[in-house]
Chain A
Amino acid sequence: LAKTTQPISMDSYEGQEVNITCSHNNIATNDYITWYQQFPSQGPRFIIQGYKTKVTNEVASLFIPADRKSSTLSLPRVSLSDTAVYYCLVGDISAGGNNDMRFGAGTRLTVKP
C-alpha cells in the first residue's frame, strides 16, 4: 500500500489560495489519488480524485506531477467555512472493499479572518 505524508496543520486567511501537498513516493501504477474533507462533528466528504496532470471541479483543483510521487490540493480563495481536516488517500481504483481507504491524521486547515 502506498503511504502518504501530509503536513499536520496549515493556517491561512480568507481570500487566499491554499495548497496542501501530499507525498506518496511508493505510488503504484494503478493507484489513484483521492482527497476527502472533514468538518467538525461531521463525517468525511469526498472532494476530488485524479490520476495524473490536473483535475478541477467546483470545489478544488488537484495537481499531480509526471512522476506522481506527490500531489497538491488547491483551494481557491478560501473562506472561514473551509476550515476542516483534509485527507489524502492513495489506492487502486479497481480494488473494492476497504482496500486502500487509509485516512491517516490528515491536514488541519484553519482559515482566519
Chain B
Amino acid sequence: GAGVSQSPRYKVAKRGQDVALRCDPISGHVSLFWYQQALGQGPEFLTYFQNEAQLDKSGLPSDRFFAERPEGSVSTLKIQRTQQEDSAVYLCASSLRRGGVGDTQYFGPGTRLTVL
C-alpha cells in the first residue's frame, strides 16, 4: 500500500514569506508527527496529533509555526514569516496507534525548505 507522502519535496522561500507543507499519512493511522531535521542532525520533534487532536506541540520553535489536521488524516505544517534558520528538512510520520517507541512510525520523504 501507499506510504506517507509529503508535498512539495522541495520549497524555496524568500525570507518573510509564508509556507505550507502537506503530509498525507498512511490511511487509518491514528497518530501523526512532524519533525524538523537540520543538516547532519537527527530528526527533532515538532508536534503530534492523535486523530484531529493536537496533543503535543512542545517542539514548535516559535509561534510562527502552526500545524493542523482538521479531519484526522491530512496534515499541514505552516510557517509564517520564514527566517533563514527555518531552513531544514521537515519530516512527517504516522503510526497506527498512539505513538511512542512501541508503535512503529512510518516516515515520509520529507520537504526540504530553503529560506533565502
Binding site for B on A (CB under 8 A): 32, 34, 41-46, 49, 85, 87, 89-101, 103-106
Known: A44-B43, A98-B48. A32 touches B101 (CB 8 A): yes
Closest to B108 in A: A43
Judged by DSSP, the binding face of B is loop
For chain B, residues 72 to 116, give those with C-beta under 8 angstroms from any C-beta of chain A: 91-93, 97-110
Q: Mark B39-60, 1 if CB is under 8 A from A, else 0.
A: 0111111001010000110110
Tell me the smallest distance from the CB of B20 to a CB of chain A, in Å: 19
User: Can you offer 18 A-B residue contacts whose CB atoms are under 8 A?
Assistant: A32-B101, A34-B101, A41-B109, A41-B110, A42-B109, A42-B110, A43-B4, A43-B91, A43-B107, A44-B107, A46-B106, A85-B42, A87-B42, A92-B102, A96-B99, A96-B103, A97-B48, A97-B56
Known: A43-B91, A96-B98, A98-B48. A103 touches B43 (CB 8 A): yes
Closest to B46 in A: A98
Closest to B47 in A: A98
